[in-house]
Structure formats: structure tokens, C-alpha cells
Structure 1
């Protein structure tokens, strides 16, 4: 039965269509044609032209007749135009409907008929809207209903560029539908007062539908009714003259206003707080992304609401009816609170995608469930989003590596204190680290006015983010370096390596290299951080050398910031990358490359001064890294074959044959005829890293304070070598696939190479899980300062800590009555006092006596503590000293107290120049971060399309 047939069981409908135009001539012709071709003819059609200058008014009059078109001023808003039309129309009989159409919205021929059928099916329906598709790409979904969160952020529940495949078909309750094609009952319109004239454009439909629902009526999206919408105003495809504000600012202001005007009082307070804090944070993000105009729009939009409270109060009074009664149903349609965090993560991912570091996954929206009891679907599909996330190979890789790391590190997770090896036992919080980094004179040890290493500031910043928990920050960086390195390698090779599963192999092989497991076992925090950052260096360096000028320059600033972070933890990073960068600049003589390379390597120098100058003055410190330098952590006779198989020696090393598959795959790449230049570059980086590793492993280096001397650990240069090898192997993976498809011997050879290559991550993971973390690091390391000595030395006196070495010698450390925080051991003590105390400590331990105790007392030492193992000859020598009194002695610890008066170490006045430089350093970090941040994304700079898209052209030619 046709909907126009008389039927006594249903009310007779009369439909008045109102078409509002404003400089929309390029779309208006198709809109009017679609309106006149409706299978259920419209009873009345009225046009309203808001001061168009492109002939839109003439087109309306030609199509509808001069008496059916109302001409209004150019500043008239959409709602005002509709109100003016309705004020001049006589009422009609039956149930009257108003069909609102934009000049850039063309409904399908059956749209009105389908909407009225839905109205017949549900007498409570007050507003109905069609499914909106894109004007150019006619398969692309724009809206199937809209919702918002409590900050006014609009959610459509659709993925970016999601095609319509019938996945949302049906009639569903929604919070709002667009005025582009909205069908609303005339009595409902009159009851709620129509569109608010304060909202001339943007969010007026949301406000109207919210009030309709608060009045007890239903708002439904009828997906079988279709309309194509150009979204000319929101996409900046025409000039907006309805308001003096910028469109983005107007949209944001209206969004906040609608939410605050319609929420009940209690949710209003929470929404107000969220808007104030959220707008402030978004303003900061816009500034960071070099979008000052957007930052200004954000803050001015909020200010324009807060500056006019009377206007908001009046709006709330006008909307008071039914606000509390129906809010429970409306609340279920609002965006859940957790979606805001997902949106923030997507925005950050978008910024990273703008830098070319990660691939953009698009924007995921979240919505609420149906407000009624009819079991409608969710407006958005969070389960679908979770399936997409968990179906991403990079996410699966990260989860798998995290599980492997947790099982292998089972003895370290959940302990009382992490430490051992090169890692100083983790104590204190972020405040202690900030104090250490900013204080002018360090009381730790023998006292020093040297500069604290910059990695202390990096750890302090991360600890602050993690609620002041330094142990958590260290655990994330050290114990989590394997999954983090895998994720970093997977994301960084997006633009370099074809094929996601090839990148999975590369990332897993890289993450499980002996360098990583050795860094965890020996507590090498510096190597762990650099290991995670190396793929970032590769990605950013590629952008510096190959990207267009603006993006290359941003990548250079980002690379400089990342290099500064890596150099702070392991200074050897800087000379290694500097040499490779200089060679790359010579090999790629493009315009601007030299300047970008200069920026990348100038930033670390500027950010790390004057600490970097201190390191350069003592070249041996270039081979050290964050933490303690201990002989037992390195292999003094490391064989060459170990380095060639990427094994740096020391604790936590798997058997050499574990990495044999990777080396074999890289050697097989030499037989390939394609990508010869890339293969040569990769092997060049690999050989360079191995040569530097050989040099490092053969070079004796003294610790920061000269108490030990041992070869440096070659983990960092071997990580460079592994990066080159992995890129070589991964870039030839497509050739192996071709061999596999060719059949015969080539197929067998391809399968053999693939099996050998995949053996590396599988064997490495299996060995690590089986053996666990075997090394000096422990999750339950005891405090190096006994409680007895710590309590008694609490007035500023010091403790001399003696530690037996495997070769029979003793090393000494001076502590300021407490366990040192991370970074304190990396601050050099004055050479004179250190030498005097060293001689005195050796004299006491040998039983020489004499003036040794007086020397220690003069330097504020009150206690002598010997850590495990306490050798009998050492304890006897200390017992024989008349100036020492034994307090406790066991096989694991001995404590002696000086019996003579001990001097109180003086604290020199602070250096004002140091504090000023720290402020400058902080501002420089912020400036570089801003310069490194990507600009606005392409979606934010969308230009007016001059030609239809390829999809539209394809549809047009069918």
C-alpha cells in the first residue's frame, strides 16, 4: 500500500519542505531536483535564501516560483530562516511535518516515503533523520545519528572513510540527527520552541533534538532513508557570514553551550570542570602542535561562555521542563567517559603519524546504548574497535613480547627493591631526582659541585608522570625494554619495510637480541633506553634525508631531541650517530639536508651543556653509561666471533648459535640483485657497529670516580650493527616470497632462508623464558646502608662503604648516610679529597693505621661498612684499628664506628648561574619539542575540492 493511499488507521500526513540556501549554487540544483522527484510528493515547498551572491535565490525562484521563496539578510542563521518561513505559512490539516533541507543535501527519491513509514510505525517519534552519505564519494558514510560527550565533543560512531555496506540498517534511537534532511512534527517544533537563534550554525540540531527528547519524544535515525550531504560549511567549502566568529571557534562555543544548557545541575558541575581542564589541556596540545589559531579558538570559545553566565542561566531556565525526568534516558546516549581518553590517544597518534613515525589508525568514536527499551544497537561499536586493535600485528607483537618479558623476569617483578649490577638500588621518588638535578651542591659522597647527568631529569620527568614512583619508571624502561623496543621497531619501519608481517619478524628479532637480555640481566639502564630509541633514530633520519622540506625540518628537531635523550643515558650514542649523519649528508646532497643534519646534531649539544662539555673533557666517559661501571659485568677476553654474532658478553647472554639465523639471513641478502644500494648501506652500518664494538670491548675505562677500571661494554655499538643487519634482511623479504612462488630449487631455498630467519626470535624467546634473567640484578636487593649506620649518620656525617672485588681487591664508596638515588654515583667527586680518602681506606683495610682514621674523620666519615662478602683479613685489620669500634659483624655485613670526633661537612653556597641555566635548559627543551611536533594534519587543512574524487568519477561513469 502506498503511503499516500487513504487509510483510516493512520493519520493523514502533510509535509512542508523548507530549503535554506546560502551561496550554495554548486549543489542547489541537484538538491531541488532530488526534492521534486520524491516518490511521496511534498505537499508544500518553500525556499529561504540568506543573501546569496552566487545566483542561489534565482535558482530557487525558477524551481519553486517567486512567491515560494523568502529573501533574507546575509547574516541570517539557519534556524532564523526556518522560523521566518513558518511564521508566514498558514497551518494545514492532519499531522503536519516540517522537512528541513540544506542547499547541499540531496535526498534519495524514496527518502521522504521511508521517513513517513517510520513515523507511522512509532507514534512517539518526534524527529526522524536519514542516513547521510558523502556528496562526492557516494558510498562513504557521514552520519547514522550523532552523540556528544560532556565536553561537547561530537561523535558519529563511524570510522574514518567507512563505506556503507548496510551494517547500520534499521531504525535506531539516537541523541541527535542533522538538520540536513531532518523531519520533525510541527507540534513538536512548536512545543520545544524550534531552533535556538543563539545557535545560528553548528550544534543547533543537537540542541533541538536534546530538547525534543527532554519533552518525552523520540529522535530516530532511519537508515533506509538516504541523503547525500556536502557538509559545505563544516568543511570550509564556502564562506560563512552568519557570525563574526571563526567557524572553529563558533562550533566549539556552541558545543559547550549546548551541553551546559541542557544538563541537570549535578552533571553540569562535572561538565563545567571537565570543560575548563580539558580546554586548557587542548590549548596546550594545539600550541605544541604549532596551531596557535586553534589554541586561540579553544580558549576563546570557553571564555565566551564563562563571560556571560546570565545568558547561560536564561537558556537553562528555558530548558528546565523535563530535563531531570528524561535525563536517565538521554545519559545512556551520551558518549561514555572512557572515550575521551581514546580520543586523546588517537590525537597523539595523529601527531605521531604527521611526523611519519607511526601509521595513523584513524579516529575511533564511542557512543551510548539506546535510550529506550527496544534493544537497539549501540551507536558505536567498542567491541569492533577492540577487535581492530587486537587484530593489529604491532599490538599483538607488543602483547606477546610483554608476556615473554614477564615470564623471563619472573624473579624481578614484584620485589621490594630493584637493583644490582650496574643499577643503583632504586630508592626515593621523583622529588629526590629533581632535587639531585637542580641542587647547586651535592652532599652525596664527598660532596661535589659537578653537574648531575641529564638522564636524572629525564627519569624525574617520567617518574612525575607515574605519580612520583621512580621504581616504576625504572621498571618500565629497563624491564620493559624488550616489548618497548619491539613496538618501536615495528612502528618506525612503517615507511621503510614493505609488509606488516615482515616488520613483525624484524621487530621481534631486534627486541630479543642479546643486547636487550644482557642489559636487563646486568641492570644497564642506559643501554636499555638507547635500544628502544635506535629504531626511532632510523625512522627520523630517513625523514630528514628523504622527506619534503617542512617535514624533514620537523624530523630534524625531533631527531635532535631523541638524540639528546639517548646521549644523556649513553654518551657514545652521539659520536656514533654524528659520524653516520655526516656520511649520510654527503651521500644525499639534497637542498636543506645539511641544515637539517646540523639541527639534529646541534640540539643535543645545546640541551646537554655543560654536562656534555665535562664528558668531552674526559673522553673515557664517552664509553660509560648511566649506572655503575663494574669489572664483573664485562668479559675482558670477549672473542671476536661473539661480537660478529651480536653478543656483547657479560651476564644474561644466550648461546651464540641463537643469533646464527639472523646472520645467515643477512648473508643471503648479499645474493639478491635488487636493492643493492640499501643492502650496501645496511651492511656498512653493521660493519661500522661491529668495528666500534671491538674497539670498545678492548679499551679499559675508569669509572666516574676512578675507583675501578675495566673494558667498556659494547652493547650500544652492537645494537647499531644489529639495526643495519635487520634492515638488510627485511628489505629482501619480498624477493624471498617471489622465490617461494617460483617453485623448484628456488622455492626450497626460500623456505630454508625463512625458517633460518624465524629461528632467531623463536630461539631467543625460548632460551630467555627457560633460563630467566641470570645476572646480578635482583628484585629484592638489600639496602647497602645498614639501618644502624643510617640512623646514626643522619646528621650529615658520611659512611665509607668497602666492597670486595672478585680479584681480591677492595673498592670504596662514600655515602651521605643513606642509600644513593639513581644518578648520584655518576657525579664526579673532587679529585683531591677522593684520593686522600682512597689512601686512608686502603690503609685501614690493610691494618696500617696511622693518620688514616683522622683523614676520614676530617672528611666527615663516621662509619666504615664492609659489604658481603666480608673477608676475614679485612675484618681483622679493621678490628685492630684503635680509632674504630666494631658495632656488628656477620658473614654478609660488618659495621665499625670512628671513635674520634668527626667533622660536619660544610655546604658551599649555591651558584646562581647554575639555576639560571637550568631555567634556560627547560625552555630550550620546550622550544625544541614544539619545533619537533607535527603541524596540523591534512584533515584540518582540507581544501575546497575542485574535482570529484576517484570513487565519485567511477560511480559517475557506471
Structure 2
């Protein structure tokens, strides 16, 4: 070591913009290299000429453009005779070493004879205080960690030599005999992760890898930062980096650890693909799939690589394991990432540069992992506090429903049918051509069933959890959506908090929860989002407006599936906006998407347009007030169970009336009051129209909750946008100050009184968490395929098939003739006229007659008929079986157009998802970090 021989190898590829400075730095070392040679990989920018001018033509090797870095070094070494005690100094064309870098590297090698690979501390090429690397490690998913915080400056905090898992090939000093012992850089890794693989094999061979902090080099990271075209591989850089990351980890881990890492990689990649799709980055999702597939689908390539690395792999793993990223660092990284995402920060990392702890776990790491600073900052955000407060209010108000859920979840009551089945049952119901429910139907299932099924699938198949989230969680969800959706419209945070809290606690929300109105609950959560996207559509630049149009159309389709009336409301406003503001193409997109996506279901409304006023669920007359007083419409109280007194929302009305006095914002006031008047007029009209449900039954009026929520939204945005005028009046002093304080107090009275009344009174409605099963146990167990049960409730009847109907099954249309036929037969049985009536029921496949809360008179009439056999009787139900064998009702021939229409529906939905955010957009920081 007294006189080591150093061969510096400079490899260039289209790096002329950096190569001149790099060559000067290499040739001006305080301890010069003994031999300096170069290799050019088919550069087209004059890099080869720069190398030959600086090093001499005989010292430069020209190679094909597809040659990788490791292959170029091997080609150069193949033409240079080895010298005893020789060291190889690898230099990228975009890496300029400090004048004393080589001297410090050699001094460290002399101090530690076991060190076979040494690397300098890397700083940024442009900002030369910024640290890039002080050694590199990975986790078991192949994620590359540098041990640095984002944009960390070098202040001596990382000085001192240190064992690391790997160092970059940019400035790497490696003993030539060790290079030849391990086989050099794997040529299969043309770019990215080749340094990690080389150093891992060096450590497995029993040598040390050291980062020398006094040696400094400045690196531009041209390939990782996409500053030049990459030709060594045909793959996209992102895909290549991810593939090589998995390849290196899988090839160098012992077998058992490799299997665990493989499962972790596949699971993590699946999650990242879903995340990319949600963030509307299909190109990144495809890169992830292709990268994982190139490793998993080529086991022969992996087996061959593991065979070449088998020497020392198992023996060296304990030392390597201590240098891998600690498991807790991944959770801390995700925490930091979510924090940056919530703060609205863009991505700060380029491909291949990820920051986490490099050192082995220590006692200090536990303190870092348990740091509650992020949680404290997260919980201090106004939107988070608002959502948590509304969640606590909802939990307190819904205590009776939640308490009954603990005894066995059976959520139902009011407009909500008892929630049974799981996600697979809902998907089967939505996709099947013939629905063997009630009297049987070939109609299309309501599309909201697919939405609930998709959410249930994400919640481990639990349908009741999905419905509980949408219905019982509608108040905090509506508050969160109102707060987030209005951040561009209402800049004042305090005004947005008031708007969101008041909106979430409107009587429409509490009434929808109490009556089990799932459709209104979902639309109530989406209405603020519609408003936010509509404003963006009208005010943003064309590309963002086009994206907003597709997003509004897609979400409007979801709302229409639950309550078609919301489409009618927004369609009228959309046409008026086209006339007033233009943006015809974007508005037309938003209005065309819902009918196109929901066409198979909506075509059934052509003969019965009144059904557009009804929402998802049952339509029971007792849930609707037959004649609402005028003050109910003026205070946004739609009638029915679970509503607060009308004066709860009086403060909102007074505040909105006060806004009429502001002359500077007359346009905002006019638009807000116009929307409010429009919504109230629609609510009055809806409450006066009588509609017969598609499944038959008694005619009922539609609930005016959605148009009243629509009207309230206009007033709330109006008040929030004029709130700063109240601050000006308050600052003026005198009578104006007193009036401003009074208006503010009235405004805040609505959410405060609404929350207090809801907590004190509870849900106060038919909704329950333990709804009894309407199908008698004997009928359900003894009814084979195709047999049905006629359930009588007073003068009403329902035909059930073996089980409680699923969501949406009770809304399937029934022909008037079939319903009248069953009604006559049921009336005949109750009246004691068996015979032909029992035969009629048997022909329809009905095998049992069940009676809910039977009276003595009805029991006597049914027992007196020889066509019925009495099976059981209690205070709550009675059950009889028909003597005549029921007919087996089979499904009719399936519609040949059904499958193509389902496929078209799926394709159109995916197309709308993609077009809602075309490729050219900034990557989401959460997605970038998880990737």
C-alpha cells in the first residue's frame, strides 16, 4: 500500500455538457492517477472527441451506443494488463471529484486493509452544498435509501469513514483483484442498481465497503434525473429502475428471505398499481406491472443469477442484514410522505433517490419512530379537527343504532331494506340477467348496487360496513367534502369551517340518517364536490376545465345512480351556464357522461318519468309528511322523522338575508339566492307530485331533501364568500360592529344548535341496527330453488324468495298485471276464499304464506282453508304452507345484448376515469413516494 497503482476509467455517454469539467477534475488531483483512460458509449454530442483531446486518442475506447456502464469498464480492463496492488477508480462523465478526493480515498484504504471498495461523499452538481449520497442501502422491496433528508446540506454532520452496504460507481475506488474475484458489474444491469449489486457481492466475498466522507465528488445524476437519453436499455427508466431493484434483492438474499421479499414485492406492487390508477397515472401503473412481470415471469433468469451469486451469500447475509433499511423506516417514510401530501408539497425526489435511515437500528431510532410531532401537526389542521368533531357528534347522535349493531349487524329500517349478503352477492345480483327475487325480473339492477358492491369489496366484502359508512358516516363525510371542495371558492379558512359544519348538520342530513335514506346521504356528500368542480370547469384554463368536466360527469353518474333527481337539478343549471358562460364542450361532457354510463337502467324511465323523483330504497308513505308547511321549505326542513325544529336553521336564513345589503358583491348574492330559490321551487314541486314505485305498491310523494340541500348549498357559499364584509363592518365600530357581531352569532347558531339537538334527540327514526329478518326461518330453510314465500303485512304484501332481499331487489319493476293477480289471490286467502286463489299462488311458484303480527281473525281465516297447512304461529309471525305443489319458475332466455352492454359500461367507466385527468399532470407526491 506504500505505492498503490491507480487506473482511472472515465465512461462517457452524451455527457459533453459535464465532461469537460469532469476531465479537468480528474487530471488535477493532488494525488494524480497513474493511468487515466476513457470509454465512450456511442456519444453523439462530441464526448468522444473531448476524451481523446484530454487523454489522447490511444487512451480512449469507442464502444456501441447500447453499451452499459459495467460493460464499458470490463471492455477497458480487458485491454489493460493488471498491475500488482492496482486500484480502479470509476468516474462517470457527470461526476467531478474534488481535487483531494483520490488522496483521501487512498489514505482510507491504507488505514483499513479490509476495505475493498471505497466511495466519496456525493454532492449536487449545481448546488454544491447539497448532499446526494453518503452511502446507499435498500429495504427488502428494493427501495434505495441514501440516509439523507430531502435537500439536506453538508455541514459536517456525516463526516468520518463508515461501513455501508454500497457506494455509487460515480467516484468508486475498487481493488482490481476483488473486482475480478466477484466478476465486476453484472452486464444484465446496464443502468441503475449495478453499484448496489456489485457492493453486495463484494461484502458476501468477505470484504468491506466504506464511504469516505472527507473525499468529495459532485454528481449531476444525469440519467436518474432524465437529463439525457438512455440507450443502454430499451425500457423506460422508471420501469428499468424498478425491475433492477427487485432483481438485485431477489438475487442476493438467501432463499427463505428471498421468498418473503418476493411476496412483499408483489403485494406492494399491487398496492402501487392501484394507487397510480387512483391518482390517474396509467403510465406509471403500467411501468410497475411490466417491471414486476419481467422478474416474476422469467424464473430462469433469476435462477441463473442466484446460481452465480451463491458463493458467500448465506454467510455474508448477517452482516448485510444489519445494513439494510430498518423495517420501521418504511413507516416513518410513509408518515413523512403523507405529511408532505397534506401540506400540498410537490414531489421532491427523483427516480433512484429515496431518503431513509441507512444505519442499523439503534435506541435513538425508537425515539424517532415514536415521534408524535406529525400526529400533533396533523390533528391541528382545521379540516381534520372539523371532521373529527363531526364524527364525534355523529357517534353520539347515532348511539342507539350503533349499540344495536353490536348485537349482530342487521342495519335497516325506514327506506333502507335490511342489509344482508356480502360484496359477491351484490356483484352477482348486478351482473345476472334474471333476478330470482319476488316474482322474478329481467330488468337491469339499479346501478347504485355496483357502487355499494365496489365499496364493499374494498371493505373485505362487508356490505353492512359499506352502507354504514355511507349512511351513518354521511355527516362527517359531507363536512369533509364541503371543506375540501370549497378551498378554491372560499379562501378564508374560518368561513370554510362554518360552511362545512353548517352544511353537514342541515336537517336534510339528520333526516336522511334517521329514515335510512341511503340515496340522499350519498348525494348530500357529493353536492359540494359538484359545486367545486363546476366552478373549476367555468374558471380554469381549458385543459383543467376539460378534466373537471370529465370528473364532474363521472361523479354525477354516481349521484344519479342513487337519486336521479340530482341530474335533473344540475342539468338545468348546466344549460343556463352554457348560455351565460360558454364552456359548452366541457359542460356538455359533464351532462352526457351520466346518461351514457347509466343508459341500460335509465331507459326504463322512458315510460315512467315520474320515477326520476325517487331515490334508492323503499318509498314508504309514513316517511313523508303529506303536507309540508311553507316554513319547512324556507328553513330547509324536508319533513319526516329525525328532523330538528324549524328555528334551528333560522340563523342561516337571517345571515343570507343580511348579505343582500352588500352592494359590492351583487353578482355573488344574485347567483346564491337564485340557486336557493330554484332549489326551493323544485322542492315544492317534488313534494306535490304523486309517484308509483316501479315495484308497485302504494303511491307516494318524493322526499324533497335533495333539492332543499341544493338550495342550502347556494346560500352557504353566498354567506361564506361575503363573510369578509362582516369583518370590515366589525372593524368599523359602533352600530355596524354590533350588527356584524349579531349576524356572526346567528350564523354560528345553526351548526351549534343543530349538533346539540341531534345529540340530545338521537336519530329518532325507524333506522335500526338490529332489524328482524322478514323471512320466517322455516320458510327460508325449507324453500328450495325457485320456491317463494308470500309475506302479508296488514293490507300490504311482499313476495320473498328464501332470504331477505338484497339492496336494490325490492326496487325491481313488477308488471301491473302480475301484481294485481297476487293482490287478488292474497285478498281471497285473507277473506277465507281459498281454492282458485291458492292455485294461482302455486302457479307463481309460491309455496308458503307468512303473516307478520297476525290477528285472530286473519289466523282463523287461514286455518279454515283446506288448501293451507298451519306450520307455526306466534305473536310476531305465522306461517302456512300451500297443499298444492308450487310450480318451478325458471329464468327466461337471457338477453343476448346484456353481456356486450355490461362490457361497454365497464369500458366507458374506465375511459371516463382516464380522461378525467389526462397524462400531462404533476405526479401525486404520495404516489411518487410509495413508488
Q: Pick the aligned partner of 2:901 from 917, 922, 927.
A: 917
Residues 143 and 354 of structure 2 are in contact (CA less than 8 Å); yes or no, is this contact kept in structure 1? Answer: no
Does residue 837 (structure 1) correspond to residue 830 (structure 2)? The answer is no
- Is 1:448 the equivalent of 2:441? yes
Match of 2:809 among 824, 829, 834: 824
**Offset of residue 425 of structure 1:** 0.7
Relative to structure 1, the CA distance from residue 494 to residue 212 in structure 2 (aligned partners, 3 Å threshold; closer, same or farther) is: farther
1:580 maps to 573
1:777 paired residue number:
767
Moved more, 567-576 or 18-27: 18-27
For the residues of structure 1 that align with 2:668 and 2:210, how far apart are their CA atoms? Answer: 58
Match of 1:207 among 197, 207, 216: 197
**Residue among 721, 725, 731 paired with 2:711:** 721
Pair 1:564-2:554 in alignment? no
Correspondent of 2:70 among 79, 85, 89: 79
- Gaps spanning 5+ residues in structure 2: where? 926-931
Residue 937 to residue 781, structure 1, CA distance change in 2 (3 Å): same
CA contact (8 A) 1:455 1:565 kept: yes
For residues 937 and 392 of structure 1, do their structure 2 counterparts lie closer, same or farther at Cα, with a shift above 3 Å needed? farther
Distance (Å, rounded) in 2 between the aligned partners of 1:670 and 1:530? 29
* Ranges in structure 1 where 5+ consecutive residues have no aligned partner: 1-9, 805-809, 942-958
CA distance in 2, matches of 1:478, 1:366: 41
User: Out of 870, 878, 882, which is 1:894 matched to?
Assistant: 878
Is 2:919 aligned against 1:926?
no
State whether structure 2 residue 255 is matched by structure 1 residue 265: yes
User: Residues 112 and 151 from structure 1, CA distance in 2 versus in 1: closer, same or farther, beyond 3 angstroms?
Assistant: same
Structure 2 counterpart of 1:614: 604
Deviation at 1:60, TM superposition (A): 5.4
Residues 1:814 and 2:799 aligned together? yes
Greater alpha carbon shift after TM alignment, 181-190 vs 487-496: 181-190
Which position in structure 2 is the counterpart of 1:324? 314
Answer whether contact 2:131 2:152 (CA < 8 A) is retained: yes
Q: How does 1:532-611 map to 2 (within 5 A)?
A: 532-589=525-582, 593-611=583-601
Q: 2:758 aligns with which of 765, 768, 780?
A: 768
Q: Distance in 1 between matches of 2:306 and 2:624?
A: 72
Q: Distance in 2 between matches of 1:579 and 1:795?
A: 47
Alignment of structure 1 residues 182-581 onto 2, 5 Å? 182=172, 189=179, 192-216=182-206, 219=209, 228-272=218-262, 301=291, 305=295, 311-331=301-321, 333-334=323-324, 362=347, 372=360, 390=379, 392-413=381-402, 414-416=406-408, 417-499=410-492, 502-581=495-574
Shift of 1:343: 9.7
| 1: CA distance, partners of 2:626 / 2:211 | 74
User: 2 CA distance for matches of 1:400 and 1:42?
Assistant: 68
Residue 122 of structure 1: how far off its partner (Å): 7.9
Change (3 A) 1:78 1:616: same
Q: Please give the alpha-carbon distance, in whole angstroms, between the structure 1 residues aligned to 2:21 and 2:728.
A: 51
1:683 maps to 673
1:925 shift after superposition: 2.7
Structure-2 change in CA distance of 1:754 and 1:320 (3 Å): farther
User: Which shifted more, 911-920 or 357-366?
Assistant: 357-366
Question: How much has 1:124 moved relative to structure 2?
Answer: 6.6
Contact 1:157/1:379, CA 8 A, preserved across alignment: no
Match of 2:18 in 1: 27
How far apart, in 2, do the equivalents of 1:646 and 1:120 lie? 83
* 1:141, distance to aligned residue in structure 2 (A): 5.8
Does the 8 A contact of 1:397 with 1:504 survive in 2?
Answer: yes
The structure-2 alpha-carbon separation of the partners of 1:939 and 1:812, relative to structure 1 and needing over 3 Å to count, comes to: closer
SS at match of 2:763: coil
Secondary structure at 1:411's aligned position in 2? helix
**Equivalence for 1:180:** 170
Once the two structures are TM-superposed, the CA of residue 572 in structure 1 deviates from its matched residue by 0.8
Shift of 1:630: 0.9
Residues 124 and 764 of structure 1: is their aligned pair in 2 closer, same or farther, counting only changes over 3 Å?
farther
| Preserved contact between residue 247 and residue 302 of structure 2 (Cα < 8 Å) | yes
Counterpart contact for 2:696–2:819, Cα < 8 Å: no
| CA deviation string 1:637-679 (max 9, x = no partner) | 3333233333322222234344344444444544455655444
**Contact 1:336 1:366 (8 Å CA) reproduced:** no
What residue number does 1:952 align with?
Answer: none
Distance 2:83 2:485 in 1: 65
Aligned residues of 2:325 and 2:360 also touching (Cα < 8 A): no
Taking structure 1 as the reference length, what is the TM-score of the superposition? 0.82
Q: 1:243 to 1:619 in 2, by over 3 A?
A: closer
Say how many residue pairs are matched: 914
Q: Tell me the residue number matched to 1:866.
A: 851
What per-residue deviation string (whole Å, max 9, x for no partner) do you get for residues 870-920 of structure 1?
Answer: 555555555566655554444433334445554444543333333443333
1:201–1:812 distance in 2 versus 1, CA, 3 Å: same
Alpha-carbon offset, residue 24 of structure 1: 2.3
Superposed, 1:796-807 pairs within 5 Å as 796-804=786-794
Pick closer, same or farther for the CA change 1:635–1:307 going to 2, 3 Å: closer
Map Cα deviations across residues 36-64 of structure 1 (whole Å, 9 max, x no partner). 788x76666836251544344555567x6
Instruction: Say whether the 8 Å CA contact 1:279–1:302 is kept in structure 2.
Output: yes
User: Larger deviation: 718-727 or 496-505?
Assistant: 496-505
SS in 2 for 1:484: helix
Cα distance in 2 for partners of 1:292, 1:627 equals 36
Name 2:625's counterpart in structure 1: 635
Distance of aligned partners of 1:135 and 1:487 in 2 relative to their CA distance in 1, 3 Å threshold: farther
2:94 corresponds to which of 69, 88, 104: 104
Equivalent-residue separation in structure 1 for 2:210 and 2:747 (angstroms): 56
Summarize the Cα distance change of 1:29–1:580 in structure 2 as closer, same or farther, 3 Å threshold: same
Q: Is the 8 A contact 1:366 1:380 kept in 2?
A: no
CA distance in structure 2 between the aligned counterparts of 1:386 and 1:122, rounded to whole angstroms: 44
Distance 1:297 1:746, change over 3 A: same
Going from structure 1 to structure 2, the CA distance change for 1:734 and 1:177 (only over 3 Å counts) comes to farther
Find the residue that maps to 2:313 and give its secondary structure: coil
**For 1:729-768, what aligned pairs fall within 5 Å after superposition?**
729-733=719-723, 754-768=744-758
Contact conserved, 2:651 with 2:746, CA < 8 A, in 1?
A: yes
* Farther-moved stretch of structure 1 (83-92 vs 438-447): 83-92
Identify the match of residue 697 of structure 2 among 704, 707, 713. Answer: 707
1:693 is aligned to 683
| Distance verdict in 2 for CA 1:671–1:190, change over 3 Å | farther
Structure 2: distance between partners of 1:380 and 1:517: 43
**Where do residues 936-947 of structure 1 align in structure 2 (5 Å cutoff)?**
936-938=920-922
Secondary structure, counterpart of 2:851 in structure 1:
strand
| Deviation of 1:779 (Å) | 0.8
Structure 1 residues 380 and 134, CA, compared in 2 at 3 Å: closer, same or farther? farther
Q: Secondary structure at the match of 1:324?
A: helix
- Cα 1:760–1:297, aligned 2, differ >3 Å: closer, same or farther? same
Counterpart secondary structure, 1:802: strand
8 Å CA contact retained: 1:368, 1:378: no
Q: Is the 8 A contact 2:838 2:867 kept in 1?
A: yes
How high is the TM-score relative to the length of structure 2?
0.84
1:750: Cα distance to partner? 5.8
Cα drift, residue 155 of structure 1: 4.7
